[in-house]
Structure 1
Amino acid sequence: MRATSGKRGLRDRIIPLFLLSAAVSVVNILFLPIIFYVPFQAVFELSNEQMGSLLAAYASLAVPGYVVGGWLCDKFSSKTLVTTSVLSTSLLGFWMSTIPSYNTLLFIFFLMSITLGLFLWSAQIKCLRMLGDNTEQGRIFGYSMAIDGIISAGFCLGLAYLIGENIDTVAGFRTVILGFSGFFFLVGLGLFFFYDNKKYGTSSSDDSERITFKSLWNAAKMPVTWIIAMISFGVYVESTALSYMSPYLNAAYGMPVVWTTAFAAIVRYGIKILAAPIGGLIRDKIGRTAPLVYSTVTPALLIIIILSFIPRDHKYLILVISLIFLAIFISRLSYTAANMPLAELKAPLALAGTITGLALMFGYCSDLFLPKLIGHFLDMYGVSGYNYVFGIMVIGMMIMLTGVFWLNYESKKLIAREKSEHVQQEDLQANTNAI
């Protein structure tokens, strides 16, 4: 039975919300070369382009696999898929802790395209979607991002503090990898033993709603699929480029390595602990996604443009850090936008996984080329290569705004159609009563 929504809040759903949020945090293992960019590069002795190639190896199967993953979570138990993802990704993390060769590392990241791309994303989003109705989606996804942020930032900052200057040594960084892998293995066990699969409706659909491959065609015909894809693509392009701010501060402003790790953790996870739930509450209060995105992404975009013109001198380090934090906080207020169209446009719940999977295939396809392209720019142009990174961030934000504009248009069409149908029903009822 699906969890009922209402005015009592989410207290009765806090356990599944916590477990699902902790589960998605397992992607920290995939994002180790992003969060710990400088020490990861030093320990594994990689060029910037090779660093980007790791995510490209993941994306090679993960991007087309999102569609299959969406279909799988509509066909089978979402709990089983999420649990399998967390446990298997943790095992790959243990393998990575042996500090293997570059080719072996590429293979590990390729295997994560199965454990994460196929099993995790669509299933986890569908599980969260089923915890409440449209009036609660902002809070559900906002709180989920906050929980994810607390777990991820806590681990990143805690490990960086404990290991200190040894973080860019083999022994120090092996401790980082083992810490993440061990914790998420326990999370996977927690999901297996303590998550109530039936209570929250995360089992496969009823027989009347069995998904076939025809579902892909039905999902492809829906505007909601391409709206999610466009918003996700914009968010992910901007987020990928933003992750390079950590090595940027090291290369352009002389920030110490251990500080870059703390900075990356705060940027990627710490800020959204507050921003995501606040943005979710604002979105639910407004009842629509577009006004929130317009009023947050636009000023953040302007700040990013300003950042690109600040001189690269160590005396501007504090100013640059402050502006980056401000831009990220403002933009993170609306980072739940990509998850809102499913409920806002009232997409069929039976197709939720298929729609999400198809949308994510296009939304996350930048992993196939963008990290490697940015790495190429940095290897070729050095610090000047970051000019391209700022330009990519701006492009991502513009794409996101375009997707939200389309969402706003479709949302108004839906509201008008529902009002028209309501008036017709009232007229029909009035005529029936008159007869």
Structure 2
Amino acid sequence: MAAIKTANSKKWISFGTLLLGAGTIYKLGNLKDAFYVPMQEFMGLSHTQIGTAISVAGLISTFGFLASIYLTDRISKKIMIPMALLGICLCGIWLSTFPSYGVFLLIYCLLAICADMLYWPTMLKTVRLLGNEEEQGRMFGIMEAGRGLVDTIVAFGALSIFAAMGSNAAGLRMAILFYAAVPGVIGIIAYFLLDPDKKPAANQEGRQVSANQAAWEGVLSALKNKNIWLVSMNIFMVYAVYCGLTYFIPFLEEVYALPAALVGAYGIINQYGLKMLGGPIGGFISDKVLHSATRFLRVVFIIVAVALAVFAFLPHGSMGVVLGMTFTLSIGALVFSMRAIFFAPMDEVRVPREITGAAMSMGSFIGYLPGAFMYAIYGGILDKMPGLQGYRVVFLIMAVFAVLGTLLSSYILRHIRKG
């Protein structure tokens, strides 16, 4: 009994460490979220330069996920997690010098490597291995909610420092250093709290292999695994719908004339509140009520598809702003509940645990791909079709992805039942 309690304590200590890292690893890469105007004013950056840096970093992230298919199972989390967090810290210190634009671009690329190639797939792998099949939904749901809470606390901490310093260049520099110090401290803590990965002495056929050969065989095994592709494409469908949530704010501003005072409040609720609410609820329902993350995804896909189709044709001109906000936030909460647990089905489809790193990396690469082009598609539609007509098309496209997700989830469930 004592051994079980000790193991359980170690599990949640490791989980808490990963959660703290997940809530801080992206703060510097998303510096624009809280400090867009100060970046322009004190770092001398234009809209184009900031946008270019984010786009280049996104491209690096895409290739980083590909590289992580090999790296995540090759290098132990005890090395990978602290290295990523300390790398973020060093990049932040460099960024606080307000370097030239060429160096700024390089730093953003390094931030993408640390966050998306080194940290994120390794974190997903570790979370999956920490929980058994009955805990997957809750583990991923709590992770999503927890990192949203940490994200919020750290963001407000940086904003407080910036304001206390006089909202000037020195304040921005200290806010950046704060964003750098937090993951640096967590990285040091992670090195001492995380256990090294257990290296297999033999491959899946029982043959003695080196760690390098085992990692490459894991990559090939993951690429050939139909179940990993199915789960990854289901993540793709969720993320394609998720990208559309960005346009709820301009929709409410343009169509409902959302007051400026409510825009910020809506944004905070939409970005942080729904993440903290949807994660635990999605995890609990998938584990305790439906006993299947895939079944939960199918049910919510159906609800979201119907809700978006109905919402697209509602008489928005005669509806009140409160009703419009309630409807959009409800859809957002549903999507966030799916996003919180969309990696959980990896256990449900029996992906071998020894290739978990490669599986999570593949899921990240394929699943997050809509972020590389869906924003451009949605934005292009709104530019070509201004007003309510354009938003209706965007909502209907989101509904189509939800329908595709429903069909794919149903296929995965049939596939699971067949064993």
TM-score normalized by the length of structure 1 = 0.77
CA shift in 2, pair 1:55/1:226, >3 Å: farther
Query: Is contact 1:141-1:280 (8 Å) kept?
Result: yes
> Residue 414 of structure 1 aligns with which residue?
416
CA apart distance, 1:157: 4.5
Higher relative contact order (CA 8 A, sep 6+): 1
What CA distance in whole angstroms lies between the structure 2 residues aligned with 1:208 and 1:96? 43
Query: Is contact 1:74-1:354 (8 Å) kept?
Result: yes
CA apart distance, 1:152: 1.1
What CA distance in whole angstroms lies between the structure 1 residues aligned with 2:284 and 2:125? 20
Q: Cα RMSD over matched residues?
A: 4.0
> Residue 287 of structure 2 aligns with which residue?
284
> Residue 425 of structure 1 aligns with which residue?
none
Query: Is contact 1:246-1:264 (8 Å) kept?
Result: yes
CA shift in 2, pair 1:139/1:356, >3 Å: same
What CA distance in whole angstroms lies between the structure 1 residues aligned with 2:31 and 2:280? 25
CA shift in 2, pair 1:266/1:98, >3 Å: farther
Q: Does 1:74 align with 2:86?
A: no
SS at structure 1 position matched to 2:222: helix
What CA distance in whole angstroms lies between the structure 2 residues aligned with 1:321 and 1:186? 39
Q: Does 1:197 align with 2:195?
A: yes
Q: Does 1:363 align with 2:362?
A: no
CA apart distance, 1:283: 0.5
What CA distance in whole angstroms lies between the structure 1 residues aligned with 2:51 and 2:379? 6
Moved more, 123-132 or 324-333: 324-333
Query: Is contact 2:294-2:345 (8 Å) kept?
Result: no
Query: Is contact 1:237-1:392 (8 Å) kept?
Result: no
CA shift in 2, pair 1:319/1:142, >3 Å: same
SS at structure 2 position matched to 1:287: coil
Moved more, 180-189 or 368-377: 368-377
TM-score normalized by the length of structure 2 = 0.79
What CA distance in whole angstroms lies between the structure 1 residues aligned with 2:353 and 2:414? 21
> Residue 341 of structure 1 aligns with which residue?
345
What CA distance in whole angstroms lies between the structure 2 residues aligned with 1:61 and 1:353? 19
CA shift in 2, pair 1:101/1:122, >3 Å: same
What CA distance in whole angstroms lies between the structure 2 residues aligned with 1:101 and 1:109? 12
Q: Percent identity?
A: 21
Moved more, 302-311 or 61-70: 302-311
Q: Does 1:150 align with 2:149?
A: yes
> Residue 22 of structure 1 aligns with which residue?
20
- 1:107-144 CA-to-partner distances (Å, cap 9, x unmatched) read 32222231122201211111001112111101111111
What CA distance in whole angstroms lies between the structure 2 residues aligned with 1:175 and 1:387? 45
What CA distance in whole angstroms lies between the structure 2 residues aligned with 1:152 and 1:187? 14
> Residue 229 of structure 2 aligns with which residue?
226
SS at structure 1 position matched to 2:130: coil
CA apart distance, 1:149: 1.4
CA apart distance, 1:312: 8.8
> Residue 208 of structure 2 aligns with which residue?
none
Query: Is contact 1:142-1:280 (8 Å) kept?
Result: yes
CA apart distance, 1:276: 0.8
**Is there any run of 5+ residues in structure 1 with no aligned partner, and where?**
418-435
Query: Is contact 1:233-1:400 (8 Å) kept?
Result: no
Query: Is contact 1:280-1:336 (8 Å) kept?
Result: yes
SS at structure 2 position matched to 1:130: helix
- 1:408-433 CA-to-partner distances (Å, cap 9, x unmatched) read 4234333333xxxxxxxxxxxxxxxx
**Is there any run of 5+ residues in structure 2 with no aligned partner, and where?**
205-210
Q: Does 1:242 align with 2:264?
A: no
> Residue 187 of structure 1 aligns with which residue?
186
- 1:146-197 CA-to-partner distances (Å, cap 9, x unmatched) read 211111122335555776799986566555433332222221122123x231
Moved more, 91-100 or 120-129: 91-100
> Residue 323 of structure 1 aligns with which residue?
327
List aligned pairs for 1:54-73, cutoff 5 A: 54-73=53-72
CA shift in 2, pair 1:234/1:317, >3 Å: same
